[in-house]
Amino acid sequence: MQIQADEALLLSELATLATFTHAEPVSEGTAVTRIVFSPDDLHARAWLKQLATAEGFEVRADAVGNLFIRWSGTDPSLPAVATGSHIDAIPHAGMYDGTVGVLGGLEAMRALKRSGLQPRRSIELVMFTSEEPTRFGIGCLGSRLMSGTLDPKQADALREANEPADTAKTLVEVRTAAGFTGDLDSVRLAPNHYHAWLELHIEQGPLLEREGIPLGIVTSIAAPAGYRFTISGLGGHAGALLMPDRKDALCAAAELILSIERHTLATRAIDTVATVGTCDVHPGAVNSVPSRVVLQLDIRDTDPARRESVMQAVRSDIEELRQRRSVIITEQLINADAPAQSSPHIVELIEEVCAAQGISPKKMVSRAYHDTLFMARIAPIAMLFIPCRNGVSHRPDEYATPADTTLGVQVLASVLAKLASE
């Protein structure tokens, strides 16, 4: 069976998808901002549905907007084989994160169809809602709900993370306005709803390119955790409030951020990473002493116990900070997830396909999280990585070569075909 991905079609579709954006064009690459349920996201979803129906695939959306594009197999009663990813993009991102797995998955299905394959098991492409945490403060909303990792009522009550509290809309308001109604309980899929799950994604790191290897096999996915810290001090006039009388929330926040960095580095483990990516200062006036600061922490590790040990060390620093600076510091857990291991069987199939195509893949950890992290709760999983230039991602200069992208799609298609015949 000759499987041949249509590279030109795939590249043109990736370029078209990149036009659904509200990012200002930049010189260093293709800037994409596509926030979940924004007009650009909704237009992109409608366009994707058109591509799928044009190919004769069945299309359905669930109550939170996860999109399912299905190619029925000869025995449709069997659990399907699934692939997919996301098309939402953080502000000023690139055009390959997630989209390679969605459009690459679609092209893999089309290439298999063109090859004359009649899959025994249905093959389903999933486009997840809100893989990025940008709008609602937590990533992988769609796959968390599918896998039962997030309580539906808590999910619907999530508020827009970057809007003022008094105007921030809830998920239920936003999804309903976007046309996704129904009870979020209905999003959950039974364990082993799928026979197997396989996601194609750019590496978002430098290793494959650095070692000149065209394909990565993800053997485990690091475990992310998210926390929100609110530091409350005493505001006041930048001129009249004397230093000894101050309880400057931003100075306390600065010490907290450095404590997080110090304790993360102290593990001396390459897999422990932490980022305070947002810092909201109130009132945010140059001549007003900050009275309140909200920080969002993203901390990850392949070893959840080591990740927790960093948090414990930070908490003891927080206690000292509270006393010395007379500030109030509250911690809110957003998520603390377990890592995921890939299915040895699927990894073996990928290795067989690579050997047959003369490819020597690299086994590796994914430090970025993906919807696959949550699909691992309900199905055997694996991921395929393709190189990205200089390891850059979440930036407009994010780039994957046509050759690497096409090869990733070809391997994906071959593994899907094997899984669908099981």
Interface residue list for ligand HGY (CB under 6 A):
131-132, 139, 368-369
Cβ distance to Mn ion smaller for residue 145 or 253:
145
Q: Is 201 annotated as a binding residue?
A: yes
Q: DSSP labels for 167-199?
A: TPPBHHHHHHHTT--S-GGGG---TTSEEEEEE
Cβ distance to Mn ion smaller for residue 3 or 334:
334
Strand 381-386 with 216-221, pairing: antiparallel
Which position's Cβ is nearest Mn ion?
Answer: 98
Q: Is 132 annotated as a binding residue?
A: yes
Contacts of 323 (CB under 8 A, 6+ apart): none
Find which of ligand HGY, Mn ion, none residue 139 binds, CB within 5 to 8 Å per kind. Answer: ligand HGY
- Cα distance between residue 378 and residue 349, in whole Å: 20
Nearest one of 115, 104, 106 to 2, comparing CA atoms = 115
> Could you tell me the smallest distance in angstroms from the CB atom of residue 139 to Mn ion?
8
> Could you tell me the smallest distance in angstroms from the CB atom of residue 131 to ligand HGY?
6
Binding site for Mn ion (CB under 5 A): 97-98
> Could you tell me the smallest distance in angstroms from the CB atom of residue 82 to ligand HGY?
19
Cβ distance to Mn ion smaller for residue 107 or 371:
371
Angle at Cα 182 formed by Cα 139 and Cα 85, nearest 5°? Answer: 35
Find which of Mn ion, ligand HGY, none residue 203 binds, CB within 5 to 8 Å per kind. Answer: none
- Cα distance between residue 386 and residue 359, in whole Å: 12
- Cα distance between residue 38 and residue 18, in whole Å: 14
Q: Is 199 annotated as a binding residue?
A: no
> Could you tell me the smallest distance in angstroms from the CB atom of residue 139 to ligand HGY?
5
Cβ distance to Mn ion smaller for residue 30 or 291:
30
Classified as helix, coil or strand, 370 is coil
Cβ distance to ligand HGY smaller for residue 107 or 398:
398
- Cα distance between residue 201 and residue 101, in whole Å: 5
Cβ atoms of 207 and 362 closer than 8 Å: yes
Which position's Cβ is nearest ligand HGY?
Answer: 368
Q: Is 97 annotated as a binding residue?
A: yes
Cβ atoms of 274 and 298 closer than 8 Å: yes
Find which of Mn ion, ligand HGY, none residue 337 binds, CB within 5 to 8 Å per kind. Answer: none
At 117, list the tokens: 């394959």
Nearest one of 159, 139, 116 to 3, comparing CA atoms = 116
Find which of Mn ion, ligand HGY, none residue 369 binds, CB within 5 to 8 Å per kind. Answer: ligand HGY
Cβ distance to ligand HGY smaller for residue 225 or 416:
225
> Could you tell me the smallest distance in angstroms from the CB atom of residue 141 to Mn ion?
13
> Which residues define the annotated binding site for Zn(2+)?
86, 97, 132, 201, 394
> Which residues define the annotated binding site?
86, 97, 132, 201, 394
